[in-house]
Amino acid sequence: MKTVDLAIGIGGAAGQGIATPGDILARIFVRRGLHVNAYNAYQSIIRGGHIFLTLRTSDAPVLSHGDRLDVLMPLNQDTMNRHLRLMGAGSTVLFNSDTIKPADAAAGVQLCPFSVKQLAPGLRGDLVQNTIALAAILRLIKVEFEILEEILTLQFKRKGAAAVAENVGVARAGYDYAETHFRPFPFSLPDTGKPLAFFEGNQALAMGGAAAGVRFYCAYPMSPSSGVLHWMARHGRQLGIMVRQVEDEIGVINMAIGAAHTGCRAMCATSGGGFALMSEALGSAAMMEIPVVCINVQRAGPATGVPTKTEQGDLWQVLGAGQGDYPRIIVAPTNITDCFKIVPRLFNLVDRFQCPGIILSDLLLSEGRSSADPAEFDFNVPIERGEVIGLNGDGPPANGYKRYLITDSGVSPRALPGTPGYAHVVATDEHDEDGVLISDEFTDPHKRQAIHEKRMRKMDGLLPLLETPALHGPDDAQVTLLGWGSTEGVIWEAMQQLADAGITANNLQIKWLVPLHGEEIVSILSRCAKVLIVENNYSGQFARYLRSETGFAADGHIRKYDGEPFMPHHIVDGVRAILAGSTKLYVPVHEIQV
């Protein structure tokens, strides 16, 4: 049973140093084996604006950043103004009373003013305020001061003993002040004795790439995908991964394809705008039959859109990327562990089927941070390279090597450039089994049909290898919440809240989008009483996709497209509204301007 469920909000302007107290708190929590989920609402601005970090911890898994805050730490007046009205009974607000004034708070909210001038005379600046507030929070949740002292010592060691002493002193003042002036929370923070790791989805995706044996990674910076590039750039040399920043996303995907063709595993990541530039080349990878993996971390579109906000708005872009029909795999990981595991899995599949693979993440998953059990991050993954011939010096068959040999599986053995005896040309023009163009001089409709069918047959082989989706929660629930990708956690939490309110709900979360287990999905859904589709976009992109693939039409829809992710109560409210018959499409209003 969970004994603690604590959500802390830290807000201020960009540049005020919100990340540091957030990181310190998260580290303290995960070292005690507590679960953490963090979501940072921010804007495309380097200084100013409003940044709000929600950090939630519990001794039970934390599925989302939740609905409410227990602690508010406003670093400026603006944050106080925006968030105080949402603080409820039992919550605590810590602020520097020298510069920040509270408006009226709801009954039962503990206002905890402290004066930086008084607690740290002669010292100034946001960082002092942050350290005092951080120390005070730790006191209220009864974390021993020594833990903070150790972290601060480590952090300021480089700046010398005086800096360490000053910061530890400031923290001590805040800690002691809280002890005598503020009411602590009625629990103390447990320690499960099993420390967890804490990171963002982009890091998990990058590490998944490393585990898969990616040797070539390239990208053009674009939020919210740049975290993958940054991780790769930092670790590439040590891991033997070449990392390149390319001139544009067209160059990115083509470079990755070139690298992949030589036999190394190549990966790239971008967001919707960059992905749009990659379309043609993705088709070319399928046409030349070169395995490559591309990650699209979605942000709110269209066009430049809202660069720092989340959305699941690229489904149809990805489905439709590139002209013509071609084999490919599209997968949307559902949580941070999945981000890691999906990459080696996808590489094995694209190597086997010699086609592009696309991972559809989004800002929530990629930049959101979660705790995870380090044991889940097993780098010792199976690696299957598919049919590559000629590597051990074997010569080609007597009747010659055909790169695009027509086979039942649609997969033709691949030979890598540099292999004696297997020289061939791969082409983005339609070609015959030999790689010879059939599109220029004269077009042979029979050859075209045969080779096109050969490529597309790969999809038949792929589907049975992908696990079918399964219901999570009670089979006989009143409501089935159907989602895809990153919304799994928040849907599960909404289910718990619904159960508390006497409404039974279950969840069917779709991860493998192409190829789609349409028949199984429909067979599951046809046994469900009421199916509501939850997605983070305007038009119900998944609902339309499911209908186009299967003819299945859901009973209702819960959608959000304001840039912010779902909070559990948004889904709960949607379920109630739809069950009450007041609407078939529920769009929550996000309560706060962030």
Partner 1 sequence: MAIIEREATRRGQTAVAERPKVTVRDLKGKVDPDWCPGCGDFGVLAALKQAIAELSLQPYEVLTVSGIGCSSNLPGYLSTYGMHTLHGRAIAVATGAQLANHHLKVVVTGGDGDGYGIGGNHFVHAMRRNVDLTYVVMNNQVYGLTTGQLSPTSIKGMTTKSTPFGSVENPINPIPLAITSGATYVARGFTGQQKHLVELIKGGLQHKGFALIDTFSPCVTYNHDNTHEFFKQRTRKLDEMGHDPTNFHAALEKGFAWGDEIPIGLFWKREDLPALDELEPVLADGPLAHRSLGVGPDAARALLKELM
Q: Which of residues 5-44 bind partner 1 (CB under 8 A)?
A: 30-31
Question: Beta strand 329-331 with 512-514: parallel, antiparallel or unpaired?
Answer: antiparallel
| Residue with smaller CB distance to partner 1, 320 or 464 | 320
User: Which of 81, 428, 497, 550 touches partner 1 (CB under 8 A)?
Assistant: 428
Residues 285-304 that bind partner 1 (CB under 8 A): 288
Q: Which residue has the tokens 């004795």?
A: 193
CB of 281 to partner 1, least distance (A): 6
User: Which of 88, 302, 420, 474 touches partner 1 (CB under 8 A)?
Assistant: 420
User: Which of 90, 160, 240, 397 touches partner 1 (CB under 8 A)?
Assistant: 240
The whole-angstrom separation of Cα 223 and Cα 561 is: 18
User: Which tokens hold the place of 472?
Assistant: 């999570």
Q: Using the rule CB under 8 A, give the single segment among 43-51, 422-430, 523-531, 534-542 that binds partner 1.
A: 422-430
* Cβ contact 211:381 at 8 Å: yes
| Residue with smaller CB distance to partner 1, 326 or 492 | 326
CB of 578 to partner 1, least distance (A): 40
Residues 337-376 that bind partner 1 (CB under 8 A): 374
User: Which tokens hold the place of 256?
Assistant: 């990755």
User: Which of 137, 143, 196, 594 touches partner 1 (CB under 8 A)?
Assistant: 196
CB of 513 to partner 1, least distance (A): 25
Q: For residue 122, how many other CB atoms are within 10 A of its CB?
A: 6
User: Which of 325, 429, 476, 520 touches partner 1 (CB under 8 A)?
Assistant: 429
DSSP H or E segment with residue 361: strand 356-362
The residues near 18 (Cβ < 8 Å, ≥ 6 apart) are 10, 11, 12, 40, 51, 53, 75, 130
User: Which of 32, 65, 83, 424 touches partner 1 (CB under 8 A)?
Assistant: 424
| Residue with smaller CB distance to partner 1, 61 or 258 | 258
User: Which of 13, 25, 211, 508 touches partner 1 (CB under 8 A)?
Assistant: 211
CB of 8 to partner 1, least distance (A): 20
Residues 251-270 that bind partner 1 (CB under 8 A): 251, 254-266
Q: Using the rule CB under 8 A, give the single segment among 54-62, 155-163, 192-200, 324-332 that binds partner 1.
A: 192-200
CB of 354 to partner 1, least distance (A): 14
Number of residues counted as binding partner 1 (CB under 8 A): 73
| Residue with smaller CB distance to partner 1, 374 or 397 | 374
The whole-angstrom separation of Cα 545 and Cα 518 is: 10
The answer to whether residue 334 forms part of the interface with partner 1 (CB under 8 A) is: no
User: Which of 19, 106, 425, 529 touches partner 1 (CB under 8 A)?
Assistant: 425
Residues 371-390 that bind partner 1 (CB under 8 A): 374, 377, 379-381, 383
Residues 448-477 that bind partner 1 (CB under 8 A): none
User: Which of 395, 397, 417, 474 touches partner 1 (CB under 8 A)?
Assistant: 417
| Residue with smaller CB distance to partner 1, 441 or 500 | 441
Q: Using the rule CB under 8 A, give the single segment among 152-160, 178-186, 248-256, 552-560 that binds partner 1.
A: 248-256
Residues 546-585 that bind partner 1 (CB under 8 A): none
How distant is the alpha carbon of residue 205 from its chain centre? 8
CB of 31 to partner 1, least distance (A): 7
| Residue with smaller CB distance to partner 1, 86 or 197 | 197
The whole-angstrom separation of Cα 565 and Cα 333 is: 16
| Residue with smaller CB distance to partner 1, 74 or 344 | 344
User: Which tokens hold the place of 560?
Assistant: 């959000």
| Residue with smaller CB distance to partner 1, 369 or 569 | 369
The answer to whether residue 426 forms part of the interface with partner 1 (CB under 8 A) is: yes
The whole-angstrom separation of Cα 556 and Cα 107 is: 37
Q: Using the rule CB under 8 A, give the single segment among 168-176, 197-205, 308-316, 543-551 that binds partner 1.
A: 197-205
| Residue with smaller CB distance to partner 1, 450 or 501 | 450
* Cβ contact 246:277 at 8 Å: no
The answer to whether residue 244 forms part of the interface with partner 1 (CB under 8 A) is: yes
User: Which tokens hold the place of 414?
Assistant: 């691949």
The whole-angstrom separation of Cα 70 and Cα 443 is: 69
The answer to whether residue 500 forms part of the interface with partner 1 (CB under 8 A) is: no
Q: Using the rule CB under 8 A, give the single segment among 184-192, 301-309, 414-422, 567-575 that binds partner 1.
A: 414-422
| Residue with smaller CB distance to partner 1, 123 or 228 | 228
The residues near 380 (Cβ < 8 Å, ≥ 6 apart) are none
Residues 523-542 that bind partner 1 (CB under 8 A): none
The answer to whether residue 246 forms part of the interface with partner 1 (CB under 8 A) is: yes
User: Which tokens hold the place of 10?
Assistant: 């830290």
Q: What is the DSSP string of 486-523?
A: GGHHHHHHHHHHHHHTT--EEEEEE-EEES--HHHHHH
Q: Report the candidate in 55, 67, 3 with the shortest Cα–Cα distance to residue 29.
A: 55
The answer to whether residue 69 forms part of the interface with partner 1 (CB under 8 A) is: no
The answer to whether residue 397 forms part of the interface with partner 1 (CB under 8 A) is: no
Name residue 300's beta-bridge partners: 306
Q: Using CB atoms within 10 A of its CB, is residue 245 exposed (0-12), middle (13-18) or buried (19+)?
A: exposed
* Cβ contact 558:533 at 8 Å: yes
Residues 216-235 that bind partner 1 (CB under 8 A): 216, 218, 235
Secondary structure (3-state) at 564: coil
| Residue with smaller CB distance to partner 1, 146 or 247 | 247
Q: Report the candidate in 369, 366, 249, 363 with the shortest Cα–Cα distance to residue 307.
A: 363
Residue by residue, what is the 3-state secondary structure of 106-131?
CCCCEEEEECHHHHCCCCCCHHHHHH
In eight-state DSSP terms, residue 404 is: T
Q: What is each CA distance from 484 to 262, 481, 509, in whole angstroms?
A: 34, 10, 5
Q: Report the candidate in 59, 60, 61, 86 with the shortest Cα–Cα distance to residue 72.
A: 86
Q: Which residue has the tokens 């599109």?
A: 439
